[in-house]
Structure 1
Amino acid sequence: MKHRAHMDGHVIITGFFPLYTLGIDHNNIHASSKEDNKMFIFKNYQCVLALAFAIEEINKNPHLLHNLTLGFDIYDDEFRTWKMFKNPFICLFGKYKIPNYSCMRDSKSTAVLTGPSGITSDQIGTLLGLYRFPQLTFGPFDHALSDHNKFPALYQMAPKDTSIATAMVSLLLHFNWTWVGLLTTQNEHGAWVLAELKEEMAKNRVCVAYELMISTQDASHIFKLMAVHNEINLSSANVLIIYGDNDSQTALMVLIEQIFIHGKVCIMNSQWDFIMKRKYFMLGSLHVPLIFTHHYVDVSGFTDFVKAVKPSKYPEDIFLARLWFLSFNCSDSESDCVTWDNCAHDASLDWLPGHIFDMTMSEDSYNVYNAVYAVAQALHQLLLHQTEVQTMGNRKETVISPEQLHTFLKNAEFYNPTRYPVNWDEKRKLEPEYDILNIWDFPEGLQIEVKVGKFSSYAPHGNQLSLSEDMVEWAIGTTETPHSVCSESCGPGFRKSPQEGKAACCFDCTPCPGNEIANVTDMEQCVNCPDHQYANTQRTQCFLRAASFLAFGDPLGMALACMALCFSMLTAVVLGMFVKHQDTAIVKANNQALSYILLISLIFCFLCSLLFLGQPNTVTCILQQITFGVVFTVAVSTVLAKTVTVVLAFKATSPGRRMRWLLVSGAPNFIIPICTLIQVTLCGVWLGTSPPFVDTDAHSEHGHIIILCNKGSLTAFYCVLGYLGSLALASFTVAFLARNLPDTFNEAKFLTFSMLVFCSVWLTFLPVYHSAKGKVMVAVEVFSILASGAGLLGCIFAPKCYIILLMPNRNSLHYFRDKIHNRRNNPS
């Protein structure tokens, strides 16, 4: 019996399908071990049925291939390299080896179908390409076969997996899996998909935990197996993408069985489909498979066709006879006339379990179906062309050669019966859509594929992936969705801090500093709050800052304002008292005019402190420092003038007219306008170059924005303050030197004490002022103004008020003369 399946026709389509593999079929106790230990591959026989189904549809179609029928020759794709070219030679030259004699005949084959192995298609294509014999492959798209210079007669039916990386990464993003391992085959196709996956993962910030490329020989190396086992199972990545092709899938899956992947989610491409249907391969207890397979529309009538298939319908199909024998324990005779008397009359392929034989059309079978229609369409166009060029008087029998088919096959563009467009123009080919399958486990090792989602690159961005999570069966003992991240997400209030030398997905969570927030998870950088806002303690939100300034209504502001007003009123009372008692000896003896000037300037000193209270504005900011500087300069220069007057009064009693003239002419009084003019000049330069202005400070107090007066020019401010300090120091020095001069009312000593208090206050002010912030800083300056003014008022005028009010007997000219007389009589 010939080892082929045959159906006669005017034109033959030849198929090379891998229907046997090495080994013994443990699923069937009736499998024979006599034929070189060959094991029948049930799943691949569906491709034969798809070819037969398409040919029957075409032969019944009156609009396609008029008066011409298609037939087929199906050969087993020999797994031994030395036998691989036997059947292609038969296809090309029509040679058969028959017992007792040989015969020659012309081959009617016009096209060859090969697959799904890319290696087999490559080797057969090398031979067929020499004769430009049309070859259509139904396996997955192979980049190695797309070289038209090497394979001028080869056409790939499967769409290019241009979106597989995007589809798989979309699934990763859906479950927030950002820490993923990669396992591919060590060949050109594996290298291509590995690069595609890594590029797409990098775009979406998914990190590669490890990447492994395994050759088919690695399954037999124990040390390689141990290295792969440790890499996968010891990794913290709980998701593994496994991508392989038909040529290496068996060896790779055997390797995966041996390394025992435990508790991992395995995302695979559709080429792992058939190998997982082996009964002994218990996927569910080890890992969760999510399989991406090309989406296609179900072909109407195919399932019914498969149900109706029987050996009696295709008596020249040795492979169907073999399948029937293995499935239903039917015996047949060894003659060419096969009988099936001991088989159940209603036996059908749908009796077989789903994990043995699938009744729905597989992806490879769908490509076979399209390939047959592609050949039929090309033949149809070729026949139309030959009809047009033939003359009516010279009509010859139509001759179809395989080489003629190329022109029409290359330009073939049509819709198959499911309305799916078929063409070979890469620019017009549709992007493939993917179904996402999950494996459900049942007792006895049975498994079924369940569609749980779909990926369409034509859908709007963000809606390309649709998934029914509740239909996904995770690993046994697991109810929650698996987790696969290198580092847990950083919640609001934290930012990601990369770990040195590790992938971008590995990071530490660092709290946001200062006035920065992170209001979403996994922020790379914290965001600064605007100056008018502040971050809450959790660093998750920005709130409006409350305006802060030393207001009159604040307890501290109210206390300082009351102090300023009280001191101003007290000074006014002292001034009124001096005016009232201006004819008394003590008032006259203390330089009446200078005392009035000093008291009036002190009133303004106390009142100018009120400019520092309340919300600052441009006017108050300018008046604060200028008024303070000028009025205190008047006060201190007045004290200096009083001190100089005391010294001149003593010197005037000594021989010489110059001192007397200075005293009588009122020269000390000129100190006040001269010193004040210098200060006014400094203030004018300050205002002209960099005047004070309203400013805000958003950093000193949490939750508040401090409204303050910026000095404008710190240099000018310290010049004004330094000039004032130099006047105070000069006054203190002169007063200190004159403290022991004879004076009726101890004026020099009181002036010394007043300047000592004044200098002490402002020397203390400087360090405290620089360390204070906000309201406290303003309060320190106001308090210094009030304290220094009060020191001048108390030290200079309190003793005089005491004499005026409580000891009026001392406030007389007689007492004054007696005191002078006693001092002269008792100089010691």
Structure 2
Amino acid sequence: MFRDGDLLIGGLFEVQRYLKVFPELSFRTEPKLPQCELFYMTSFQQALTMVFAISEINNNPNLLPNITLGYQIYDNCLRLGVAFRGATALVSGTEETVSDLNCKGPPPVIGIIGDPGSTHSIAISSVLGLFRLPVVSYYATCSCLSDKKKYPSFFRTIPSDAFQVRAMVQILRHFGWTWVGLIYSDNDYGIYAAQSFQQEMQVFGHCVAFSEILPNDNNPRDIQRIMGVIHTSTARVVVVFSASSLLIPLMDKVVLQNMTGRQWIASEAWTTSPVFRTSRFLSFLGGTLGIAIRRGEIEGLHDFLLRVRPNNDQRNNIVRIFWESLFGCTFETGGKNTEGEQVKKLCTGQEDLSTTNSPYTDVSGLRASYNVYKAVYALAHALHDLMQCEEGRGPFSGNSCAGITNLKPWQLVHYLQKVNFTTGFGDHVSFDKNGDALAIYDVLNWQPSSDGSIKLHKVGVVNEGAASGVMLTLDEDAFYWNFETKKPPQSLCSESCPPGTRRATKEGLPVCCFDCLPCGDGEISNATDAVECMLCPDEFWSSPDKDQCVPKEVEFLSYEEPLGISLTTASLLGTCFCALVMVIFAHHRNTPIVRANNSELSFLLLLSLKLCFLCVLLFIGQPQLWTCQLRHAVFGISFVLCISCILVKTMVVIAVFKSSRPESKGAMKWFGAVQQRCTVLVLTALQVMICAVWLSTASPTPHKNNQYIRSKIVYECAIGSVAGFSLLLGYIGLLAAVSFLLAFLARNLPDHFNEAKFITFSMLIFCAVWIAFVPAYVSSPGKYAVAVEIFAILSSSFGLLVAIFAPKCYIILLHPERNTKKAIIGRETQNI
């Protein structure tokens, strides 16, 4: 198809699909041109859209005034050789002789609209790019064409496969399909798209379950092998990058083998193809999701298409072929054929196209045609901007401008890179630095129509902004799912790992095939399919489900728990027993047994024991600064006071025995009441000094300990200074050892009521308890260390109370007849 004009725009379209007869290769005769068949109505509509756009531009006084655009359009027959022949014809012309030996004037065409195929565009742009002739494709999507070094003059009004792939992966991510199959055609479009798809899937940690090449020759064995792979794979989602013509044998097999239960994802190359939108494929391909070129509207195009009529100009033979294909007629002279069996139908050229129901007249879903429309206008706007240049202010060397009479292709490329306009439909058209158009797609869903066929339903939009990246918008209520559940299928190699677990990849398998391992103690994962578990902060611990960090339980010996209640009860009982003994001794203070046992030291001993019992209460409850400082100080001073009284009592007993002998008559003068009080006071004062120095230099403080039990915080009192604490215990141990030694030496003194024996026994209990305390205290964790210390305090206190005072109370309360001076002295005289 052609039309003369001041400047020509070339076009390459795949109006006819296949070669009917391959020309014989002979070097004796001139090769014949290839013949094509299977007229493609949709592609013819696209070619006439270019004609319509040029006609519209010529009638627009505001765009390219005083310039008439013409066109030359060739059919590529879906063959690279034919497409390349047409491109060279557009660039160099078809004249056999050169009319202008100086090669002046504009080129035969200022730019080419097409080719729709990626492989064709690669070959054509590789050659035409050397001459910087602009090529604006409306359907070639291979991402490789974005390489400006290889294809410096290539532009397109359709997004590249790079964005198409990102858009498809966004859809897969939206529905959680991480385990998908991949089928792609064995050409540049399919190979580059498959490579980009696999790389994009790896970025998001998704996996391709299988990857199969769809052969161009439709070999039955290869088709059957691919069917076997699809059938055995656990992937329920299959992504296909291929033209519809190459998919026909595979989809026929899908129908013949009754393969259902697959969710097909279609690339833009076959999403809108009418080949599969019949009732035959509904049960198998219904619910297919695909992305399609942005749909647009072109006002006036429908009426223009209806006005197309054949003419007698043989160079516009595409219109004639279209007319013959549509009405099954011929423009040749009617009459009988050679066999006389059939009369050929004559075409008048006046048939009404509005009554035909074909893709040619359907303008409800202009996608590729809309891209053609934008491509023509892009060239026109670039040419218009070029004409608006003011001499001396141009963009070229010396601030020069380009001229129509001496137009260079590379000058038009310069303006084409800066094209920026808006179509009548409201779409913005411009090209980025790679010559790619604004990336935007419609998301289509194949749904059943009322007549049992498949209709295309728009369910979303995906576009790419400069700042926001890929943006996917879906109307999920509008989806049709071809499954019994009427819901999206699951396509996973392994089920997602819930929060609280982490993914562990199975050896030798893709990353999408994994086991879910629970997080360890103190670790969490709060997201699905977490690769690693996170450690909780020091004062937090993992919840039972290991999905969040919760504050650690604070552990200390409290009054509310059974152990705390038991120890508190024992402490109060010991205090009450001490008070009871004091009452008994006070009531019987004038009896011989009380007076004989140094009543003043006995009362002081009972008071110190009461303090020992009461200091236990400082060890129970949440540690505070004042309780931490007082507990060991009160404990240390109370026990020193207690042991000091026992030590003085032991020394008094020994002194009394010694004074009964003639050679030691003056022994008692060193152990009078004043000396006894001073001794107790001095010994206790030393412990007070130890505590004062300890508290003033390295005082015990409350401390949250995370080391004993990782899942809990043990709230304890840090002793501050180990030396201070050791000195406090060592001083108590020293006094206890001296008391035990003296009492042991005096255990056999001849007395009816031998006080030294009871002191020896009490000191034996005391020392045994505190010797056992040290290893038990060190090995006990947390609050149990405090419980061990309390138990040692209570045990030693009860041991002293029972061993020293129980025998006396026994005689006072149960055998008062033995509580006489005669009974005590008699026994002593008898022994003497």
TM-score w.r.t. structure 2 length? 0.78
**Percent identity for Structure 1 against Structure 2:** 34
* Structure 1 residue 293, shift from structure 2 partner: 2.5
Question: 2:613 is matched with which residue: 606, 618, 638?
Answer: 606
**Cα pair 1:529 1:535 within 8 Å, conserved:** yes
**Cα pair 2:180 2:237 within 8 Å, conserved:** yes
Q: How does 1:79-478 map to 2 (within 5 A)?
A: 86-88=85-87, 90-92=89-91, 94-95=93-94, 109-125=109-125, 128=128, 135-145=135-145, 154-160=154-160, 163-184=163-184, 193=193, 197=197, 200-201=200-201, 205-210=204-209, 212=211, 214=213, 216=215, 220=219, 222=221, 226=225, 232-243=230-241, 250-251=245-246, 254=249, 263-273=261-271, 277-278=275-276, 282=281, 285=284, 288-311=287-310, 317-333=316-332, 341=346, 346-348=351-353, 351-354=356-359, 358-360=362-364, 362-377=366-381, 403-404=407-408, 406-408=410-412, 410-412=414-416, 413=419, 415=421, 416-418=423-425, 420-424=427-431, 426=433, 431-441=438-448, 446-458=453-465, 461=468, 464-475=471-482, 477-478=484-485
Instruction: Give the direction of change, closer, same or farther, for the CA distance of 1:545–1:410 in structure 2 (3 Å limit).
Output: closer
**Cα pair 1:694 1:709 within 8 Å, conserved:** yes
Pairs aligned (count)? 787
Instruction: Give the direction of change, closer, same or farther, for the CA distance of 1:77–1:308 in structure 2 (3 Å limit).
Output: same
Question: 1:666 is matched with which residue: 666, 671, 678?
Answer: 671
* Structure 1 residue 533, shift from structure 2 partner: 7.4
Deviates more, 1:510-519 or 1:287-296: 510-519
* Structure 1 residue 534, shift from structure 2 partner: 7.2
CA distance in 2, matches of 1:127, 1:799: 121
Counterpart of 1:750?
Answer: 758
CA RMSD of aligned residues (A): 4.8
Counterpart of 2:399?
Answer: none
CA distance in 1, matches of 2:277, 2:822: 135
* Structure 1 residue 665, shift from structure 2 partner: 1.8
Residue 25 of structure 2 corresponds to residue 20 of structure 1:
no
* Structure 1 residue 12, shift from structure 2 partner: 3.9
**Cα pair 2:210 2:229 within 8 Å, conserved:** no
Amino acid at match of 1:601: S
Amino acid at match of 2:505: Q
* Structure 1 residue 560, shift from structure 2 partner: 5.1
Counterpart of 2:830?
Answer: 822
Question: 2:578 is matched with which residue: 571, 591, 594?
Answer: 571
Counterpart of 2:492?
Answer: 485
**Cα pair 2:506 2:513 within 8 Å, conserved:** no
* Structure 1 residue 482, shift from structure 2 partner: 1.7
Instruction: Give the direction of change, closer, same or farther, for the CA distance of 1:313–1:684 in structure 2 (3 Å limit).
Output: farther
* Structure 1 residue 301, shift from structure 2 partner: 1.6
Counterpart of 2:807?
Answer: 799
* Structure 1 residue 794, shift from structure 2 partner: 1.9
**Cα pair 2:615 2:635 within 8 Å, conserved:** yes
* Structure 1 residue 169, shift from structure 2 partner: 3.1
Deviation readout 1:156-211 (Å, 9 max, x if unpaired): 444445643443333233223334445555676666655655565555x4412347
* Structure 1 residue 628, shift from structure 2 partner: 1.0
Deviation readout 1:310-346 (Å, 9 max, x if unpaired): 43698863223323323332243169xxx97567965
**Cα pair 1:59 1:70 within 8 Å, conserved:** yes
Instruction: Give the direction of change, closer, same or farther, for the CA distance of 1:636–1:539 in structure 2 (3 Å limit).
Output: same
Amino acid at match of 1:814: K
Deviates more, 1:547-556 or 1:506-515: 547-556
CA distance in 2, matches of 1:691, 1:37: 102
Instruction: Give the direction of change, closer, same or farther, for the CA distance of 1:515–1:766 in structure 2 (3 Å limit).
Output: same
Residue 48 of structure 2 corresponds to residue 49 of structure 1:
yes
SS at match of 2:281: coil
Deviation readout 1:391-448 (Å, 9 max, x if unpaired): xxxxxxx996685454245314353444544455528976321111222355998433
Amino acid at match of 1:607: L
**Cα pair 1:284 1:440 within 8 Å, conserved:** no
Counterpart of 1:597?
Answer: 604
Deviation readout 1:261-317 (Å, 9 max, x if unpaired): 753333333122465625688375157532222325311122232233343698863
Deviation readout 1:661-688 (Å, 9 max, x if unpaired): 6554239957745654554454345424
SS at match of 2:284: coil
Amino acid at match of 1:687: L
CA distance in 2, matches of 1:760, 1:399: 115
CA distance in 2, matches of 1:262, 1:153: 46
Counterpart of 1:499?
Answer: 505
Instruction: Give the direction of change, closer, same or farther, for the CA distance of 1:349–1:211 in structure 2 (3 Å limit).
Output: farther
CA distance in 1, matches of 2:90, 2:624: 101
Instruction: Give the direction of change, closer, same or farther, for the CA distance of 1:39–1:18 in structure 2 (3 Å limit).
Output: same
* Structure 1 residue 51, shift from structure 2 partner: 1.7
* Structure 1 residue 767, shift from structure 2 partner: 6.5
CA distance in 1, matches of 2:542, 2:91: 81
Counterpart of 1:393?
Answer: none
* Structure 1 residue 629, shift from structure 2 partner: 1.5
**Cα pair 1:700 1:773 within 8 Å, conserved:** yes
For structure 2, the residue ranges without an aligned partner over 5 or more in a row are 22-32, 101-106, 335-343, 394-401
Deviation readout 1:543-573 (Å, 9 max, x if unpaired): 7788776666777666655654554354345
Counterpart of 2:104?
Answer: none
* Structure 1 residue 453, shift from structure 2 partner: 0.8
Instruction: Give the direction of change, closer, same or farther, for the CA distance of 1:158–1:37 in structure 2 (3 Å limit).
Output: closer
SS at match of 1:749: helix
CA distance in 2, matches of 1:580, 1:734: 31
Q: How does 1:544-583 map to 2 (within 5 A)?
A: 561=568, 563-575=570-582, 577-578=584-585
**Cα pair 2:142 2:192 within 8 Å, conserved:** no
CA distance in 2, matches of 1:266, 1:10: 49
CA distance in 1, matches of 2:366, 2:303: 15
For structure 1, the residue ranges without an aligned partner over 5 or more in a row are 26-33, 97-101, 390-397
Counterpart of 1:392?
Answer: none
Instruction: Give the direction of change, closer, same or farther, for the CA distance of 1:58–1:815 in structure 2 (3 Å limit).
Output: closer
Counterpart of 1:99?
Answer: none
Deviation readout 1:628-656 (Å, 9 max, x if unpaired): 12211222243234334445555666786
Q: How does 1:711-722 map to 2 (within 5 A)?
A: 711-713=719-721, 716-717=724-725, 720-722=728-730
* Structure 1 residue 745, shift from structure 2 partner: 0.6
SS at match of 1:464: strand
Instruction: Give the direction of change, closer, same or farther, for the CA distance of 1:718–1:111 in structure 2 (3 Å limit).
Output: same
**Cα pair 2:154 2:435 within 8 Å, conserved:** no
SS at match of 1:474: coil
SS at match of 1:120: helix
CA distance in 1, matches of 2:802, 2:691: 29
CA distance in 2, matches of 1:690, 1:41: 96
TM-score w.r.t. structure 1 length? 0.79
CA distance in 1, matches of 2:504, 2:355: 57
Deviation readout 1:792-820 (Å, 9 max, x if unpaired): 12221222233344444434443344323
CA distance in 2, matches of 1:66, 1:634: 118
SS at match of 1:440: strand
CA distance in 2, matches of 1:636, 1:176: 77
